[in-house]
A and B are shown apart, each in its own frame.
Chain A
Amino acid sequence: MDKGRLQKISDCIWQIPKSGQMRVPAFIFADSRLLSDMDEKVYTQLTNVSCLPGIVKGAMAMPDAHWGYGFPIGGVAAFDPDQGGVISVGGVGYDISCGVRCHRLDIKRERLLPKLSELIEELFRYIPAGVGSTGKIKLTANKLDDVLIHGAHWAVDKGYGFREELEFIEEGGRVRDADPSKVSSTAKERQKRQIGTLGSGNHYLEIQYVEEVFDKDAASAYGLEEDDVVISIHCGSRALGHQIGTDYLQILGAASKKYDIPIRERELVCAPIKSQEGSDYFKAVGCGINCALANRQVLGHLTRQVVQRIIPEASCQLIYDVSHNTCKVEKHRVNDKMRKLLVHRKGATRAFGPGHKDLPKIYKDVGQPLFIGGTMGTSSYILTGTTSGEELAWSSACHGAGRSMSRRAALKRWKGKGVINGLRAKGIILKAASLRGAAEEAPEAYKDVERVVDATHKSGLAKKVARLKPLAVIKG
């Protein structure tokens, strides 16, 4: 991206000044190099978002931002319903409530290593992964509605996990604004056999260990110290979320015309939050969020069952479960007044700082944990939300490394077996449902997660807590 058009606010915060049709300025959180490497489309898409009705303060891009659909991936924007604010399909994306949950095993790496191979083999056998895979749970349309209303609570009621875990899931395990009547029968039909499945693409289950702790207080609150073993699971609302995105792209496309909202990119289609179409989409997104929370809860419990079978003394306690493709009504301070805003986070993680009322009691002093996936060959990070993040970006932070190379280019350069052998040489076991998927997800096809996390830390969006190193990975 050409930095000449941006104003530098600090080393890791840049502003695109308001001009033309922009209602507010735009802000990019990145160091100079990340910004230079960022594609021009991020600039275009951010300025497009800043033109939408009812946007408050600014359109924002996180340090891992790249070209998305309407919004950039890594895009954050809040809209005021009382000021004609809109809800947009592009601000949520096709994988509604895709996110990461992290369980700690309460054992050290040296205790795990003799059992690592057996554990990952058994997890790979037990957890459905890859395109076309179906889960052990088969639901009728009526039963699926229960999932869409009750989210992770449904999973716990069915024996997948424990009630005490729900506190450690964003929104306590379910959002209230979900209405299954706003979700198409096609979306429900597609989801019937997908609860408890990992999916493919960049979704994963990864066994990791804590390589370094940066913030002892926060790490201690999360129950972690160096060499501890954790398991992270990255996936979302599966087919249901994808179909909701597809269906509402058409519905909000018509609504944009009906309400005379100029749209600069087709996936930025939107409707006023208070309109029938906007309200319907919001309630459908609620269903997508609950579906994802239920899905990850089931996966988390299946993982626990395997862990405890192979290593009986391990615990598999949920540290936290947080999404990165959502829109939610939240209260935020604007000009010294608390206002209810609809916050879109597309490829951006919610990151509440210390003291926030929605945090579990034991995290109140340190802030909300967030999990930043790197690549299967490098590092991932645990961060914590900050008070400054609330001021800067509605309590939002980055969500991953972001690709630096296209899937097609990666396929030309690497073979799946080569990627598996390369990781094995580094001591990392990769179990891949698809060799093609393994090649596309080669670690070298991603940006440097360290730089993304450092920019997040330096800008004040979130604070580094711990660095995780992969030991074994399941890719769909």
Chain B
Amino acid sequence: MEKLSPGWQTFDHVADIGIRGIGYTVEEAFENGAHALFSLLVDNPASIECRNEIDIECSSFDLTALFVAWINKLISISDMKHMVFGRFRVVINANSLSGKAIGEKWSVEKHGRGIEVKGATFTEALVEKREGLWIAQCVVDV
């Protein structure tokens, strides 16, 4: 694993690709994991303007499954609303998440075209605290 510091990373998988969020809190790790996802979907994530806010809620049976559910929720909402997101706010209570994704309508001209993500998987999935930082990660099927 690359050196830990708050932010997002992608990591190797033989056929697909891993996304990883790192933060001082578990919520920050989830938010940064979402940034890693949108770094795959668009070519220029810095160009995403935060114009509209979408409420997101999901729950699962443990924290790792909750991270997978959070990423899957973002993929489906991005698809259905044809939006991309550049800022995230997450509150976690036990194994439930309520959050916001803030972004705008997706535009090839403005954001560029990355790769399609089919779904978040449990491969290499984990949510844990290491060296004082929270890590949330999984491999996504592309």
**Cβ-defined contact, B142 with A132, below 8 A:** no
Query: Which residue of A66, A130, A250, A253 contacts B113 across the interface (Cβ within 8 Å)?
Result: A130
Tell which of B9-17, B24-32, B88-96 binds the partner.
Answer: B9-17
Which chain B residues border A267 with CB–CB below 8 Å? 121-123
Contact A73 B11 (CB under 8 A): no
Contact of A69 among B65, B112, B123 (CB under 8 A): B123
How far apart are B107's CB and chain A's nearest CB, in angstroms?
A: 9
A95 to B141, CA, bound (A): 9
When the two chains form the complex, which single residue of A131, A243, A249, A266 contacts B41, counting CB atoms closer than 8 Å? A131
Given A69-B121, A267-B121, A406 and B13 touching (CB < 8 A)? yes
A234-277 contacts to B, CB under 8 A, are 239, 242-243, 245-246, 249-250, 253, 265-267
Contacts of B82 in A (CB 8 A): 132, 134
Q: Which of A68, A93, A201, A403 contacts B116 (CB 8 A)?
A: A201
Q: Which of A66, A245, A249 has the most CB of B within 10 A?
A: A249
Tell me the residues in window 393-440 of chain A with beta carbons closer than 8 Å to chain B beta carbons: 402-403, 406-409, 433-437, 440
Q: Are A434 and B80 in contact (CB under 8 A)?
A: no
Task: Please give, as numbers and ranges, the residues of chain A lying within 8 Å of B123 by CB-CB distance.
Answer: 69, 267
| Whole-angstrom CA separation of A402 from B142 in the bound complex | 14
Distance in angstroms from A306 CB to nearest chain B CB is 21
With an 8 A cutoff between CB atoms, is A161 at the interface? no
Considering only residues 80-105 of chain A, those with a C-beta below 8 Å from chain B are 93-95
B79→A239 contact, CB < 8 A: yes
**Interface digits, A186-213 against B, CB 8 Å rule (1 contact, 0 not)?**
1001100000000111000000000000
Q: When chains A and B are docked, how far (Å) is the Cα of A407 from the Cα of B115?
A: 11
Q: Which of B43, B76, B114, B119 has the most CB of A within 10 A?
A: B119
Contact A131 B115, beta carbon cutoff 8 Å: yes
Instruction: Please name all residues of chain B whose beta carbon is closer than 8 Å to the beta carbon of A131 when the two chains form the complex.
Output: 41, 113-117
Chain B positions within 8 Å of A402 at CB level? 15
Residues of A within 8 A of B120 (CB): 246
> How many angstroms between the C-alpha atoms of A437 and B13 in the bound complex?
16
Contact B15 A408 (CB under 8 A): no
Interchain CA distance A239-B118 in the complex, whole Å: 7
Task: Let me know if A286 is at the binding interface, CB within 8 A.
Answer: no
Q: How many residues of A contact B (CB 8 A)?
A: 43
Q: Is A476 located at the chain interface by the 8 A CB criterion? A: yes
Is B142 touching A201 in the complex (CB atoms < 8 A)? yes
Measured CA separation A130–B142 after assembly (Å): 12
Specify which chain B residues have a CB less than 8 angstroms from the CB of A201 in the assembled complex: 115-116, 118, 142
Within 8 A of B (CB), among A2-55: 39
Measured CB to CB, the nearest residue on chain B to A434 is: B113
- Kindly list chain A residues whose C-beta atoms are within 8 Å of the C-beta of B142: 200-201, 407
The distance in angstroms between the C-alpha atoms of A17 and B142, with both chains bound, is 34
B14 touches A66 (CB 8 A): yes
Chain A's closest residue to B112 (CB) is: A434
Instruction: Assess whether A186 is in contact with B76, with CB atoms less than 8 Å apart.
Output: yes
Check A409/B12 contact, CB under 8 A, given A131-B115, A132-B108, A246-B72: yes
Q: Which residue of B lies closest to A189 (CB)?
A: B80
Cross-chain contact of A190 among B79, B112, B117 (Cβ < 8 A): B79
| Interface status of A126 (Cβ within 8 A of chain B) | no
- Interface mask (B43-64 → A, CB under 8 Å = 1, otherwise 0): 1000000000000000011000
- Complex CA distance for A249 and B121, rounded to whole angstroms: 9
Report, nearest first, the 7 A-B pairs whose CB atoms are least far apart. Answer: A266-B122, A131-B116, A200-B116, A406-B12, A242-B118, A434-B113, A94-B118
Known: A201-B116, A435-B43. 19 other contacts (CB 8 A): A66-B15, A73-B15, A95-B118, A131-B113, A131-B115, A132-B106, A132-B116, A190-B80, A200-B142, A242-B118, A242-B141, A245-B119, A246-B120, A250-B60, A267-B123, A406-B15, A407-B15, A436-B114, A437-B113
Chain A residues in the interface with B (C-beta under 8 A): 39, 66-69, 73, 93-95, 130-132, 134, 186, 189-190, 199-201, 239, 242-243, 245-246, 249-250, 253, 265-267, 402-403, 406-409, 433-437, 440, 476
Question: 27 A-B contacts, Cβ less than 8 Å apart?
Answer: A66-B14, A68-B15, A69-B122, A94-B141, A95-B141, A131-B113, A132-B82, A132-B106, A132-B113, A190-B80, A201-B115, A201-B116, A242-B75, A242-B141, A243-B76, A243-B119, A246-B76, A266-B122, A403-B15, A406-B14, A406-B15, A407-B13, A436-B113, A436-B115, A437-B114, A437-B115, A440-B115
